Structure 1
Amino acid sequence: MNDEPTAAELTAIEDEMPLIEAEVDLLDVQIRIMSAHGPVDEVTAQRLRRSRDAVVAEALRWYMRRFNAPRRAA
């Protein structure tokens, strides 16, 4: 039995890595907020918004690549 990932699996992981990294960054911000004592400062709130936006943007890019969705005019 071969426990090594296939070339297709490695390609899929590589393709999804920007989304994974964005999600890890968002999780890091959320953990910092939950473990902080006191109110959230403006810098942390801004970092949370940017991280959340990055996850959404990367997810959309991943779906566009994954499902080869053509762009439609708004």
Structure 2
Amino acid sequence: MTVNRTVRRLRTVPDEEIGPSAAELDAIEVEWPVIAADVELLDARIAVLDRVPTEVDRQRIRRAHRRLLSARRELANRFGTPEVA
């Protein structure tokens, strides 16, 4: 009887390697405002893919874009960014 290599590997993976680590979860939590703002902008853009955007749609997209830029700025200011030469 042969055992599939994948199954053998799954049986030997320690519990610590399954799922994200605490440090990875902390990093996701820190970046969550940027992720949420990015999703909001994508939702606004997807909503107008199959139709001509109205003024309300354009406002929604601009608002979502501003929120994304603001979230990115806050994240960059919180942790600092290296000097760009």
Q: TM-score of the superposition, structure 1-length normalised?
A: 0.79
Residue equivalent to 1:30:
45
What displacement does 1:6 show? 1.4
Gaps of 5+ in 1: 70-74
Moved segments of 4+, more than 2 Å: 66-69
Say which of 47, 60, 82 aligns to 1:47. Answer: 60
Which amino acid in structure 2 is aligned with residue 57 of structure 1?
Answer: S
Counterpart of 1:72 in structure 2 is none
Deviation of 1:67 (Å): 2.5
Residue identity opposite 2:28 in structure 1: I
Alpha-carbon distance, 1:19 to partner: 0.6
The reply on whether 1:9 has 2:33 as its aligned counterpart is no
Which of the pair has more CA radius of gyration? Answer: 2
Indicate the structure whose relative CO is greater, using CA pairs within 8 Å and at least 6 residues apart.
1
**Gapped runs of 5+ residues in structure 2?**
1-12
Measure the CA separation in 2 of the matches of 1:67 and 1:6: 24
**RMSD of aligned Cα (Å):** 1.7
| Residue 68 of structure 1: how far off its partner (Å) | 7.0
Q: What is the distance in 2 between the residues matched to 1:66 and 1:47?
A: 29
